[in-house]
Amino acid sequence: MADYSKMLSDETADGWTTIIFLYQSALKEVGTRLEILNDEFQHVHKYNPIEYIKSRIKSPESIVKKLKRRNLETSIENMVQYVNDIAGIRVICSFTSDIYRIAEMLRNQSDIKILSTKDYIQNPKDSGYKSYHMIASVPIFMSDSVVDTKVEIQIRTIAMDFWASLEHKIYYKFEGNAPKYISSELRECAEIVSMLDARMLSLNEAIKRFSNEEDA
> Any idea what the CATH number is for the domain that residue 125 is in?
3.30.460.10
CA dist 170 and 164 (Å) reads 10
User: For residue 142, what is the DSSP state?
Assistant: -
Q: Which range marks the domain in which residue 18 is found?
A: 5-159
**Any domain includes 37:** yes
Give a yes or no: residue 51 inside a domain. Answer: yes
> Is 178 contained in some domain?
no
Number of folded domains that form the chain? 1
- Please report the pLDDT score of residue 30 as a whole number: 96
Evaluate whether 157 touches 132 at the Cβ level (below 8 Å). Answer: no
Q: Is 16 within a domain?
A: yes
**CA of residue 126 relative to chain centroid, distance:** 19
pLDDT of residue 2: 47
Residue-by-residue pLDDT tens, the chain, 216 positions: 444 555 555 556 677 888 899 999 999 999 999 999 999 999 998 889 999 999 999 998 899 999 999 999 988 889 999 999 999 999 999 999 999 999 999 999 999 999 999 999 999 999 999 999 999 999 999 888 899 999 999 999 999 999 999 999 998 888 778 899 999 999 999 999 999 999 999 999 998 888 777 775
Tell me if 62 is assigned to some domain: yes
Assigned domain for 139 exists: yes
- Buried-state track 7-27, b at ≥16 Cβ within 10 A, e below 16: bbebeeeebeeebeebbebbb
> Is position 87 within any domain?
yes
